[in-house]
Amino acid sequence: MFFNPFTALIFFLFLVVFFVLLFFVQVGALTLAFSKIGISPQYMLTLFFLTLVGSAINIPIKRFEEDDLCDDRVIQFYGMRYRLPSPQRPCTTTLAVNVGGAVIPVLISLYILFKCQVPIRALLATTFMSLAVFKLARPIRGVGIGVPVLVPPLLAALIALIISPAKAPPVAYISGTLGTLIGADLMNLKKITGLGAPVASIGGAGTFDGIFLTGIIAVLLT
């Protein structure tokens, strides 16, 4: 399933973030930060760009019968505006996995997890992060589950500095991305039915921006 969950303005802002990061890489400001998580800054920017493009790709895995689909076409949550797709079938909610918000971040996090020297601490931080995000996550009618954009990276950085100060950057990235995905989406799957969302995407819409920004900001903060 291909659709852009963001309005033109929000998508443009994400592109601005990407090009700002590209500038910082060229002047060397991010080299040290991303080298500490085991990934070259140039490759990281490529992965972030693929993540942004992948936000429009959703892999359907299940359909639910829905009595009342949301009629709104654009939903606002914590200042972010999300565009709703047209339902493929009347009165059904499609559960999908978002490529940019779930598949790519999970693969990056697993790669970093296997390379970092503190996998147990990273998993412990992910557990705390998942519980914290679960408390913050809110159902958004028509969209699914959403989280405040800037809170997850701040939490991920703080948890990483407490649990593993010497290896904070990789722990922050792993706990931030996996913790946001687990706490916001996977732990809230039972709330999907009844939200009237044409598509409930794991890692998409309301959680994509949190995951996209968490990986960048959490590493920089640590």
| Predicted confidence (pLDDT) per residue in 105-145, tens digit | 899 899 999 888 889 999 999 999 999 999 988 777 766 67
For 65-96, the pLDDT digits (tens) are: 665 554 545 555 555 555 555 555 556 777 88
d(CA 190, CA 105): 23
| Per-residue pLDDT tens over the stretch 17-54 | 667 766 666 556 566 767 778 777 677 778 777 877 88
Q: Where are the domains of the chain?
A: 8-221
Among residues of the chain, what percentage have pLDDT more than 70? 66
Residue 190 pLDDT: 80
